[in-house]
């Protein structure tokens, strides 16, 4: 299982393949319509639990369930913070470890989410789809009145938090999807996803030496590209934070504590790449980012849940993380 509770589909001699079929429903503002992203799930697709259903933007109606341990969920937590949606969309925080069934609310008193009344996120999935056939993943948007899951489509969730909830953003919220950079940003984000966000998993869950080495080379080609790109610009797209930075940051935050050793991405550490390390600290120290990172939960998750990679379940004490607060020199 990956950290979001989806099957890894690793076969001997093959590379890791992520299941990207998610519940395609959307939460849209009045007057909005479905965009081309929904072409991934044509009407009647066997990969979708049902045809796309549109839900209305409504403050207080939805609960974002997002574990801090998970990089994909961490994105949604950051975007919610940056846009000032904390009082508009409530949040449920599962603990860092889970079994094959589901993430659990073991951080809450009595092990029960105080809003949904559930012990497991699985209960919200089954409340809507009693025979839900796929992994119980985070992040997930849950409809509080019915306690049923709405969507777990992680890239669409953060996209819609920006575009569909604009009427509820704080006045000085950042423009995470600038129109003039959109085309280039989409290309940058696609490369980051395939080669870095997913690239570390391609190394960690490789089914053969050959698959591992191919994934390793792809990852470091992309990391070197990012190091060069960030040498002469503060953020990925220039002088302002965008969605692209959010998507890269959650992988960088986990790199030295987890991916370097646990996933064998060990050519060098993040702290040994001057531009990327300064950039990561710059974001970490920006309100909305660093407070979402819990290194103890992150390490507990990967080293305990991935029993095929770390059968002992021993969690490493290091590395030292104090330097995340050191001067980054990029302002």
Known catalytic residues are 70, 201
CA distances from 167 to 64, 141, 144, 154, 175 (A): 18, 19, 21, 21, 14
Backbone angles phi, psi at 28, to 5 degrees: -120, 150
Residue list for the binding site: 103
Residue closest to 141 by CA, chosen among 132, 289, 133, 128: 128
Residue list for the binding site for glutathione: 103
Total residue length of the chain: 331
Contact 65, 121 (CB under 8 A): yes
Contact 41, 47 (CB under 8 A): yes
CA distances from 23 to 6, 134, 141 (A): 13, 10, 10
CB atoms within 10 A of CB 30: 8
Using a 10 angstrom Cβ sphere, with 0-12 exposed, 13-18 middle and 19 or more buried, the burial of residue 13 is exposed
**Rounded-to-integer distance, Cα 156 and Cα 37, Å:** 8
Residue closest to 146 by CA, chosen among 175, 166, 126: 126
Residue closest to 47 by CA, chosen among 136, 149, 134, 154: 134
Backbone angles phi, psi at 82, to 5 degrees: -60, -35
Backbone angles phi, psi at 98, to 5 degrees: -150, 165
To 5 degrees, how large is the angle CA 47–CA 48–CA 51? 140
**Rounded-to-integer distance, Cα 137 and Cα 56, Å:** 22
């Amino acid at each position: 299982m990956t950290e979001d509770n989806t099957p890894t589909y690793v076969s001997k001699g093959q590379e890791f393949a992520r299941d990207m079929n998610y519940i395609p429903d959307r939460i849209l503002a009045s007057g909005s319509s479905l965009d081309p992203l929904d072409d991934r799930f044509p009407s009647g697709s066997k990969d979708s639990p049902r045809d796309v259903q549109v839900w209305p933007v409504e403050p207080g109606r939805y609960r974002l369930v997002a574990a801090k341990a998970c990089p994909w969920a961490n994105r949604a937590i950051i975007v919610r913070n940056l846009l000032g949606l904390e009082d508009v969309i409530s949040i449920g925080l599962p603990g860092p470890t889970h079994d094959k069934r589901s993430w659990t609310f073991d951080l809450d008193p009595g092990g029960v989410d105080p809003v949904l009344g559930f012990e497991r996120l699985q209960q919200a999935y089954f409340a809507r789809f009693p025979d839900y056939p796929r992994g119980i993943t985070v992040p997930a948007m849950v409809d509080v009145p019915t306690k049923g899951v709405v969507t777990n489509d992680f890239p669409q969730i953060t996209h819609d938090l920006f575009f569909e909830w604009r009427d509820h953003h704080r006045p000085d919220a950042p423009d995470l999807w600038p129109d003039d950079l959109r085309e280039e940003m989409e290309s940058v984000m696609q490369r980051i996803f395939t080669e870095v966000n997913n690239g570390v998993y391609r190394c960690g869950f490789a089914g053969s030496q050959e698959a591992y080495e191919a994934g390793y080379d792809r990852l470091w080609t992309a990391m070197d590209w990012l190091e060069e790109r960030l040498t002469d610009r503060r953020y990925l797209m220039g002088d302002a934070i965008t969605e692209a930075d959010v998507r890269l940051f959650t992988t960088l935050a986990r790199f030295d504590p987890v991916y370097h050793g646990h996933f064998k991405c060990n050519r060098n550490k993040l702290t040994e790449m001057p531009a990327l390390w300064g950039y990561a600290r710059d974001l970490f120290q920006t309100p909305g980012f660093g407070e979402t990172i819990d290194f103890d939960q992150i390490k507990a998750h990967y080293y305990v849940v991935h029993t095929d990679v770390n059968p002992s379940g021993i969690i490493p004490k290091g590395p030292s993380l104090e330097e995340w607060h050191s001067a980054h020199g990029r302002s």
